[in-house]
Structure 1
Amino acid sequence: MNLSLYQKLAWSLVVIFCFICALVYGWSKQLEQTSQHHGEQNLHLQLAEHLVQDNPLIKQGIYDYKALENLFHTLMLLGPAFEFYFVDPQGKILTYSAEPGKVKRSHINLTPLKRLITDPTITPLYGDDPRDNNKQKIFSVAPVYNQDSLQGYLYVIIGGEAYDTTLNNIKANDSLWLAVLWLAAALLFLFVAMLVLFRFFTAPIKKLAAGVSLIEAANYSLTDSKLSAYSNKNNEVDNLGRGIQAMLTRIDEQFKALEQSDKQRRELLTHLSHDLRTPLASLQGFLEVLNQPHRQLSTQERQHYLDVSSDNCQQLKQLIEQIFELANLENGQVKIHPETLNLGELIYDCVAKFCLTADHKEINLSVEPAICDFTVVADIAKLERVLSNLIDNAIRHTPRGGKIIVHVQDVGSEQLYVDVSDTGVGINQDELTAIFEPHYQASNSNKAGRQQGGLGLAICKGLLQLMNSEINVQSELGKGTQFRFNLPQKIKA
């Protein structure tokens, strides 16, 4: 059975309170009874001795037990709280005054009697009750001698059966009021204790609820409103507070991420609109010129317009392909198929594709080391895309007469590092972390490269992340830029 915090507190309080009440009540009753017996026994300690000294029938030795029984009967009429017994030196009850069947014992234990005679200060001391085989009661005792010969003991029970019956009747009349008083006191204590305890335990919950209300009023923004610190790991309310704080912090981070994503999406749409509008407008303009029947164009002009229109179509195709490629990367729809390949062969294939463009700009495009015989594990198509993008980006940002080097470095840790460095215009240091964002164009970028739409580096980073690789960049304005990424090396057996 699962109990709530409130139920645990309530039941614990009731059980502890009942236990304490029972303990205190039992202890107080025991203390009361012991004190009562101590006082009564001390008060009547000499009663038996006085009776022996004041009654010639007892003082001179007992032989007429019938007469002694009559004496006991008379004494009980005068003092109904006492019971009188005469026992022999072995503890046998010789005579008494009681109705037939009342006395259950024939013998009593003399040890307590002898102890009290020897040391009267050890009260309360209990002796056998002749009228009950299991009870003991306080008593008064005196030895009876006849010419220095012990005849027996006068054994007086203090608070006999008649006394107990009368006292119990009186207590029965008072017990109802006593029970009512105890119940009222218990309920009052329980009520006050529960109020104090519940206030103590619910104060943190009230504080937590107030903090959550403030954050709700602030539209769940944690900029101006935060929950108080909760440091006690063993407290349920503190654990709840920390959980709510962590949840709100996570929600706040997600809100900010959504806002940033929305901002980037709007910027992406703006860039895409511009990048698509430029070649479309150019294409539309040249096609309109070519479509004018009244305009006489030479063969050279017509061919030029067709070449420009074809370039614009190719630019549109590349841009749309990049957009779809980047969208697939962000959606996790691109799959990697790693295989073992010769890195040098792939690099030389990529360099060969850009040799004519590099020669046209008089750029020296080289590979180091020249004999690049390294085996790696990667996705061939994705790695070729990365290398092509980096080399193309380097050519577009390297001026005429510059140098581009594709360098492979073996650091001996089962990893190869590939560097694509150029002697181009370089990038500002404060822009290095942003160049991998879609459609970001560095402030000093070659505007002739605008046709790429700023998606190439973002695609490179996404593809390398899928291959568990990381790309880094170092650059200095006017001196060039270096892009570096790592690949797992296939160790030859």
Structure 2
Amino acid sequence: MKLNLTLTQRLSLVFAILLLACCGASAWLQIRSNSMHEKEVVQGLSRGVAESIAHDTPVMGEHGLMPDAVRRMFDQLMTVNPSVEVYLLDPHGVIIGHAAPAGHLLRPVVNLAPIHRFLIGGMLPILGDDPRSIDGKKVFSVAALRSGAHQDGPVSGYIYVVLQGEEHDRLAARVAASSVLRNTLWSMALVGLLVLVAGLVALRLITRPLHRLTETMRDFDTHAEPVELPLTTTPASAGQRDEIAVLETAFAQMSGRIGEQWRTLSRQDQERRELVANISHDLRTPLGSLHGYLETLLLKDATLAPAERQRYLGIALAQSSKVGKLAQSLFELARLEHGSVEPVAEDFLLSDLIQDVYQKCELKAQAGQVSLEASMPRDANLVHADLGLIERVLTNLLDNAIRHTPAGGKVTVALRREGRQVLVTVSDTGQGIPPQLLEKLFRRPFSPGTDGRNGGLGLLIVQRILQLHGSAIELRSEPGKGAVFCFALQAAGRA
């Protein structure tokens, strides 16, 4: 079954398990260290025991070793010191004399390698075979028995003394269950408990920023609208090494970006709603007029004079054309908004393009008694852009300027070279744009109920096209002094 634990609980559990393992390892190492220290001390103090026994006990006769003669002496020695066990070995390590009770001798041969290491003065403790155990090792003392008058003959055997025999092991087992060992274990348990409590408190202090970040994220998740959350710690610097502080700073910055994006999306959604509402309003007027005139023609066809019928048809056709232009503008704006249009840049002369656009707008300008002027120096004539899209930009700007310029006014297109760009300016001598509409001009294409000076879909299309060219449109307007629209295009390489 999977445990549903928090991060702090999991860290605490892992810390407790590691502490328990460390305490166990420490206890084992301490017991082993004490045991080895005791063995070293006992073996060091009793290093000459076997030599003394060999000197004081007649174990060598005329015919060599006398196992039977030494057994009684071994019993006496083991009675005086029950913790030692004395054995007589032949030169090959075979036990030939001992005082062990019947059935207690489990290993008849003793390995000579530890004995030789002891005799040459090896580092203590040195563990040798325990004859009363199948695989046990004990500290020992040993003395070599040699034949000859000066004890310089070949080795005839060994006096092998186990310094911590069976009696010592039984006494050590009883002491292990005594109050001394219990007090030691209780002391280690108390120290482990104190370390555990201190570790848990420290862990809680360390993870406190993480808890705070968790609560902050939970509050952020419960908000209906993402908001920028305040930092509860100082912002992390570039050299900050506290990962939690860095994470908290990054989350606060992320929440700020999400909040800003949310507000942008909300604003765009609101603008889209207004766009739909305003388009519906603008469509309703020409469609209502078109429907009304068509219905009049249908009901009064027999009574209408030919001239009146032609007038009605002309009005209906004009309203139909207005609806068609609006639908086309919506289609173009949708393609620009969704990235369906990719500009194909080429070198062309702006003067030729401006002349073409002037010809298209000439009739409308003459009807409104507006003059068209241009200022096109040769060094600011050749540009690198999409010819068709820039034509659409100029057409929309000129149409908008002519529509809002009174009779007798003028519309001017001026070019100026600025470094590697050509600055295009379209100005008029109309009434200008009120300051309260400047900010909304490129975001709200229709403004019913205002003075009629609004951006329309044309300016939105202009803005999107220039964005595709890496440029932007700028409006300079003062009430009563007309409006000036400026944008920049990349100059051609050979201009």
User: Among 434, 440, 450, which residue is 1:434 paired with?
Assistant: 440
How far does residue 441 in structure 1 lie from its aligned partner after superposition?
4.6
Q: Cα 1:346–1:31, aligned 2, differ >3 Å: closer, same or farther?
A: same
Matched, 1:418 2:457: no
Which residue of 1 is the match for residue 166 of structure 2? 165
Which residue of 2 is the match for residue 146 of structure 1? none
Q: How many residues align?
A: 465
Q: Cα 1:294–1:474, aligned 2, differ >3 Å: closer, same or farther?
A: closer
Matched, 1:366 2:373: yes
- Mapped to 2, the partners of 1:488 and 1:356 lie a distance apart of 31
- Mapped to 2, the partners of 1:340 and 1:21 lie a distance apart of 83
User: Among 475, 481, 486, which residue is 1:479 paired with?
Assistant: 481
Q: Cα 1:290–1:138, aligned 2, differ >3 Å: closer, same or farther?
A: closer
Which residue of 2 is the match for residue 222 of structure 1? 227
Amino acid across the alignment from 2:429: T
Secondary structure (helix, strand or coil) at the match of 2:363 reads: helix
Q: Cα 1:200–1:373, aligned 2, differ >3 Å: closer, same or farther?
A: closer
CA contact 1:350–1:388 (8 Å) conserved in 2: yes
CA contact 1:41–1:158 (8 Å) conserved in 2: no
Matched, 1:353 2:360: yes
How far does residue 377 in structure 1 lie from its aligned partner after superposition?
3.0
- After TM superposition, list the pairs within 5 Å mapping 1:302-381 onto structure 2: 304-369=311-376, 374-381=381-388
Q: Cα 1:385–1:218, aligned 2, differ >3 Å: closer, same or farther?
A: closer
CA contact 2:411–2:429 (8 Å) conserved in 1: yes
Q: Cα 1:138–1:50, aligned 2, differ >3 Å: closer, same or farther?
A: closer
Which residue of 2 is the match for residue 31 of structure 1? 34
Secondary structure (helix, strand or coil) at the match of 2:463 reads: helix
RMSD: 5.8
Which residue of 2 is the match for residue 21 of structure 1? 24
- Mapped to 1, the partners of 2:120 and 2:12 lie a distance apart of 56
Q: Cα 1:23–1:401, aligned 2, differ >3 Å: closer, same or farther?
A: same
How far does residue 474 in structure 1 lie from its aligned partner after superposition?
1.6
How far does residue 391 in structure 1 lie from its aligned partner after superposition?
0.9
- After TM superposition, list the pairs within 5 Å mapping 1:50-199 onto structure 2: 71=73, 73-82=75-84, 104=110, 137=139, 160=163, 163-172=164-173, 185=189
Amino acid across the alignment from 1:376: V
How far does residue 348 in structure 1 lie from its aligned partner after superposition?
0.7
- Mapped to 1, the partners of 2:290 and 2:125 lie a distance apart of 125
Question: Which deviations, in whole Å up to 9, do the C-alpha atoms of 1:375-430 show, x marking residues without a partner?
Answer: 333332221111011111111222333332211222231x2221112232222445
How far does residue 463 in structure 1 lie from its aligned partner after superposition?
1.9
Amino acid across the alignment from 1:21: G
Amino acid across the alignment from 1:166: E
Amino acid across the alignment from 2:32: K
Amino acid across the alignment from 2:485: F
Q: Which runs of 5+ in 2 are unaligned?
A: 89-95, 144-149, 153-157
Secondary structure (helix, strand or coil) at the match of 1:455 reads: helix
- Mapped to 2, the partners of 1:104 and 1:372 lie a distance apart of 112
Percent pairwise identity: 30
User: Among 448, 468, 471, which residue is 1:469 paired with?
Assistant: 471
- Mapped to 2, the partners of 1:280 and 1:422 lie a distance apart of 31
CA contact 2:49–2:141 (8 Å) conserved in 1: no
Q: Cα 1:248–1:411, aligned 2, differ >3 Å: closer, same or farther?
A: closer
Amino acid across the alignment from 1:425: Q
CA contact 1:416–1:489 (8 Å) conserved in 2: yes
Amino acid across the alignment from 1:486: A
Amino acid across the alignment from 1:426: G
- Mapped to 1, the partners of 2:113 and 2:206 lie a distance apart of 64
Q: Cα 1:219–1:352, aligned 2, differ >3 Å: closer, same or farther?
A: closer
- Mapped to 1, the partners of 2:114 and 2:307 lie a distance apart of 148
CA contact 1:37–1:138 (8 Å) conserved in 2: no
User: Among 399, 406, 420, which residue is 1:392 paired with?
Assistant: 399
